[in-house]
Amino acid sequence: MEQRHVILDCDPGIDDSLAIMLALSSPELLVEGITVVCGNCPAEMGAGNARKVLRHLGRLDVPVFQGEERPLRREYVSALDTHGADGLGESFLPPADGPVQELGAVEFMARTIRARSEDGSGCSVIALGPMTNLARLIQRDPEAFSMIREIVSMGGNFRSHGNCSPVAEYNYWADPDAAALVYETAAALGKKIVMVGLDVTRQIVLTPDLLAYMKRLQPETGQFVQAITKFYYDFHWEWEHLIGCVINDPLAVAYFLDRSLCSGFEAYTAVETRGISIGQTVVDSMGFWKKPANALVLTHTDVLGFFRLFLSRILGRREEELDLLEQLISDRKKDENR
């Protein structure tokens, strides 16, 4: 099987950790490295968390690179209120032995993207946090940025409301100037960013029943997921009156693996950098601006298909073995419609 080369650019972060687990249990992917940006937690903490997840997976061989410590222009605002004081759901897991790489995240991105472009394999970036590292890559080595095969970004929103302002999603809100630069540069290069925004990720709810099922099927992984998500469940109950937690980031990895899991439309998209709608994605779905599309905006997702992939991969089970999954997903749909 020919593997697709990727860099996971993230801010782990509870759902980022689940995304790392999915990527590293997927044989179709060759994860060149994990680059960390400030977002949910400071970059240093995020890099340490990435290594805690890698230790759990027995994959400390995957290099972790620390990246930007503050947004391009705005002041840094973490999401520790959502992800817990340690950024990993207050699981307070002990640090993993050994340091992160000395090379900075942006330099690593530039070198890897260039090398994979030169040998013909190509390298994509799955961006799961604020886009500051990618924006710095544009500023420092625009040619390397132009060589990225594909950018799949968890961020933004089209019809859905925001999650940190009425109209803005956290990753783009935390560094709107970076997100704006990435979308503008994609437009100039004739590329399209895949926008895995809240319209689709809000549908990916890890319910307590699904977690209990995971623990039955694979106790060690189930307990690890429980340890890092408990805080997230409490947060969702307190703020959204939701029994369960929205796990955004693994959907971006899942879509990278399987294009049938989401659908949407192509449109020119800009990111607001000022004022009360700072961080909002302005999606020109009606073509008012007559500009070529620079984004594929995902609007629909196959929730059952996602969980089939996600659970089978991280639990190391065959999809046919997930006999209760369909029932558990349809029970949630019934609850939602009540």
Chain residues in the site for Ca ion (CB under 5 A) = 11, 13, 16, 128-129, 249
Question: How near is the Cβ of 73 to Ca ion at its closest, in Å?
Answer: 20
Q: Does 79 bind ligand BDR (CB under 6 A)?
A: yes
d(CA 148, CA 165): 31
Alpha-carbon gap, residue 162 to 170, rounded angstroms? 8
Binders of ligand BDR among residues 101 to 130 (CB under 6 A) are 128-129
Residues 138-167 that bind ligand BDR (CB under 6 A): 154, 163
Is the separation of the CB atoms in 233 and 245 below 8 Å?
A: yes
Q: Helices (DSSP H) in the chain: which residue ranges?
A: 14-24, 43-57, 80-83, 105-118, 132-140, 142-146, 170-174, 176-189, 198-201, 208-217, 219-240, 249-257, 303-315, 325-337
Residue 231 sits in the site that holds ligand BDR (CB under 6 A): no
Question: Does 132 sit near ligand BDR (CB under 6 A)?
Answer: no
CB of 275 to Ca ion, least distance (A): 25
- 175 binding ligand BDR? (CB under 6 A): no
The residue range among 8-16, 180-188, 286-294, 300-308 that interacts with ligand BDR, by the rule CB under 6 A, is: 8-16
**Which of ligand BDR, Ca ion, none is residue 156 near (CB under 5 to 8 Å by kind)?**
none
Cβ of residue 309: shortest distance to ligand BDR, in angstroms? 19
Q: Which residues pair with 269 in a beta bridge?
A: 283
Q: Which is nearer to ligand BDR, 33 or 155 (CB)?
A: 155
Between 71 and 144, whose beta carbon lies closer to ligand BDR? 71
Q: Ramachandran region of residue 34, left (φ > 0), alpha (ψ -120 to 50) or beta?
A: beta
SS3 263: strand
Residues near ligand BDR (CB under 6 A), total: 15
Question: Across the strands, what pairs with 67?
Answer: none
Phi and psi based region of residue 92 (left: phi greater than 0; alpha: psi -120 to 50; beta: remaining): left
Does 248 engage in binding with ligand BDR (CB under 6 A)? yes
Reduced to 3 states (helix: H, G, I; strand: E, B; else coil), residue 295 is: strand
Closest CA to 156 of 333, 285, 287: 285
Choosing from 4, 7, 8, 13, the residue that interacts with ligand BDR (CB under 6 A) is: 13
Contact flag: residue 16 with ligand BDR (CB under 6 A): yes
Binders of ligand BDR in range 38-57 (CB under 6 A): 40
Q: Which is nearer to ligand BDR, 197 or 264 (CB)?
A: 197
Binding site for ligand BDR (CB under 6 A): 13, 15-16, 40, 79, 82, 128-129, 154, 163, 169-171, 248-249
